[in-house]
Structure 1
């Protein structure tokens, strides 16, 4: 599946990059900018970043569920999901609809 149409990046390429990063350091914080940097790409319109974040969470959770100790990681990912629901895109840079430039 095509995740980023600006850079023509597929879901499998992104997953492979995330797994490579986790193999180097399983406890590092992975964000879309690090994934793009590793792939020698850059975010252009950045509309794909929410999908990349979901991919990072899914791949990281699967990676760590195969590890020996994963109870703490799963609870941490649940907290991250709660924060995404609480502070998700509904605020959209805290601009109200009446203040749009276009």
Structure 2
């Protein structure tokens, strides 16, 4: 599935970049800008960033579920990240008006 139309980046490419970052340091904070930087890309319109955040959360959960780390610590941390995203991220809709359509 195509995630970023500006850079033509697929979900699989983003997942691979996230896994490569987690292989370097499993407990680092991964944000969309870090993922794009690792792929030598940059966010242009940044409309894809909410989908990238969801992919980061999903891939990180799966990565740590397969690792030897304690599952309780991982789940509690990711739940806190989700709460912050709901609290701060989903209210503004990236500053776009309700009737905004890209196409």
- Residue 87 of structure 1 aligns to a residue whose secondary structure is helix
TM-score (norm 2): 0.85
> Could you tell me how far 1:70 is from its partner in structure 2?
2.0
Tell me the matched-pair count: 97
Q: Where do residues 4-23 of structure 1 align in structure 2 (5 Å cutoff)?
A: 4-23=4-23
What whole-Å deviation, never above 9, does each CA across 1:22-66 have from its counterpart, x for those lacking one?
011101111111100110100000000000001000000100011
Give the aligned CA root-mean-square deviation in angstroms.
Answer: 2.0
Q: 1:34 to 1:70 in 2, by over 3 A?
A: same
Provide structure 2 residue ranges, at least 5 long, that are not aligned to the other structure.
99-103
Runs of 4+ with >3 A deviation: 91-94
Provide structure 1 residue ranges, at least 5 long, that are not aligned to the other structure.
98-102
Equivalent position of 2:51 in the other structure: 51
Structure showing greater radius of gyration is 1
